[in-house]
Amino acid sequence: MPGEFEPHERCWMIWPQRRDTFRYGAKLAQKAFVEFAKTISRFEPVTVCVNGDQYDTAFMAVGEYAQVIELSNDDFWMRDTGATFVTNGSEIRGISWGFNAWGGLTDGLYFPWDKDEKVADKMCGLINADCYKPEDFILEGGSIHVDGEGTLVVTESCLLSEGRNPQLSREEIEEVLKEYLNVTKIIWLKQGIYLDETNGHVDNIFNFVRPGECVLAWTDDESDPQYAISKECYDILSSETDAMGRKLIIHKLHIPNPIYLTEEEREGMDQVCEFWPPEAGTRLPASYVNYYTANHAVIFPKFDDEYDAAAEQLLKKIYPEREVIGISCHEMFLGGGNIHCATQQQPISGEDH
Ligand code: KQY
């Protein structure tokens, strides 16, 4: 699996539509999404997948910037339901992991998820790529980050969660990941961002800038529960070497001030059961690390927070060769993820590389 910072053929996304996670029938999330898709399309071709009932709406909104195709789905998060692409240097193939809405009937986030389960297979079909299907193995794309040179970073809280692969030991999970992603070194962080409903996806707390160099979500506020989590990640990353034997250069990317779900935002979401949407006042898992590395660009989430400027400054410093663009992400973020979770890169296959 190439690193995300390597050249892309295109970026895949899904039109936001869920009424129980986005507010006001997802209208505000759709507006934010258009800005987002338009920005990515300046750097690489974009494909937007959409359910049939919203095809015309999506086409009118983003058809000018993206290829819009009908592809049934249950939710917006292409990073997690889409194919993970791998290449052997001359050919590209997809991996269609099992998907159970972040924990199935144990602690998953919705039911049913049958359309999401098929998104990756359909993507591979559309680009005529062969598709691997690991048997009885649940994984989301947001729970893995690779450096393209043999190193994979994951979190224990997610990959060892009860709702995913409880029948497998940590060693057995490692075997599957090594085989399908062709990695030789797996670095296990303990947890992701505080209260992240994905059981702590790695892509909200950590990212590779390039081989040997990474960013880590951070806070200087020792009273914030995030502090102990980030500090533990920092200690693990500083004591590890990657697959090539390098010590990692770690950049601390300060999180925004805590953001809480407001009563007004909650009221805008459809109530679908006793425990959804969550209560007003619930802290949301905000992190600038949830950015997308596009061809020649980095597109990062802005939270209208005092730390937005510091995030932009750091990203510009560590990505001098890329344009760094901030996008107001709040409406998409209300859905539980962010910019990185909403995308899936298709790497350029070997021959074009
Ligand atoms: O963070 C992600 N990769 C997706 C979050 C999904 C939340 C569903 N409500």
Domain count of the fold of the chain: 1
pLDDT tens profile 208-237:
999 999 999 999 999 999 999 999 999 999
Q: If DSSP codes are grouped into helix, strand and coil, which group holds residue 241? A: strand
For ligand 1, the distance from its centroid to the CA atom of residue 101, given in whole angstroms, is 9
**Spatial separation of the C-alpha atoms in residues 186 and 192, rounded to whole Å:** 16
CATH at residue 183:
3.75.10.10
- Which strands, in side-by-side order, build the sheet including 323-328? 292-294, 297-302, 323-328
Q: Is 301 in the pocket of ligand 1 (CB under 6 A)?
A: no
Q: Is 80 in the pocket of ligand 1 (CB under 6 A)?
A: yes
**Which sequence positions are flagged as catalytic?**
341
- For residue 285, the ligand 1 atom closest to its alpha carbon is 1
pTM for this entry: 0.97
Q: What is the DSSP string of 47-82?
A: EEEE-GGGHHHHHHHHTTTSEEEE---SSS-HHHHS
The alpha carbon of residue 155 and the mean position of all alpha carbons in its chain are separated, in whole angstroms, by: 14
pLDDT of residue 275: 87
**Spatial separation of the C-alpha atoms in residues 163 and 214, rounded to whole Å:** 29
Q: If DSSP codes are grouped into helix, strand and coil, which group holds residue 115? A: helix
Q: Does residue 339 belong to any structural domain of this protein? A: yes
Domain span at residue 110?
8-347
**Spatial separation of the C-alpha atoms in residues 175 and 185, rounded to whole Å:** 11
CA-nearest residue for atom 9, ligand 1, is: 336
150 Cβ contact partners less than 8 Å away, ≥ 6 residues apart? 182, 183, 184, 185, 242, 243, 244
For ligand 1, the distance from its centroid to the CA atom of residue 140, given in whole angstroms, is 10
CA-nearest residue for atom 3, ligand 1, is: 341
216 Cβ contact partners less than 8 Å away, ≥ 6 residues apart? 205, 206, 230, 233, 234, 237, 250, 251, 252, 253, 289
- Best mutation site among 198, 202, 329, 338 for ligand 1, i.e. most ligand atoms within 8 A of its Cβ? 198
Judge if the upstream peptide bond of residue 112 is cis by omega within 30 degrees of 0. Answer: yes
Residue 122: closest CA among 84, 71, 85: 71
- For residue 18, the ligand 1 atom closest to its alpha carbon is 9
Q: Does residue 3 belong to any structural domain of this protein? A: no
pLDDT of residue 137: 98
Q: Does residue 61 belong to any structural domain of this protein? A: yes
- Joined tokens for residue 330: 């709040």
CA-nearest residue for atom 5, ligand 1, is: 337
β partners of residue 151? 185
Q: Is 290 in the pocket of ligand 1 (CB under 6 A)?
A: no
Element (H, E) at 331: helix 330-333
Q: Would you mind telling me the total number of residues written for the chain in this entry?
A: 353
CA-nearest residue for atom 2, ligand 1, is: 337
- Residue 247: DSSP 8-state: B
- For residue 196, the ligand 1 atom closest to its alpha carbon is 1
HEC per residue, 259-322:
EECCHHHHHHCCCCECCECCCCCCEECCCCCCCEEECCEEEEEECCCCCHHHHHHHHHHHCCCC
Residue 256: closest CA among 198, 216, 304, 195: 304
pLDDT of residue 89: 87
Q: Is 97 in the pocket of ligand 1 (CB under 6 A)?
A: no
Low-confidence ranges of the chain (pLDDT < 70): 350-353
CA-nearest residue for atom 4, ligand 1, is: 337
The alpha carbon of residue 224 and the mean position of all alpha carbons in its chain are separated, in whole angstroms, by: 24
- For residue 197, the ligand 1 atom closest to its alpha carbon is 7
Tokens 């053929």: give the residue.
9
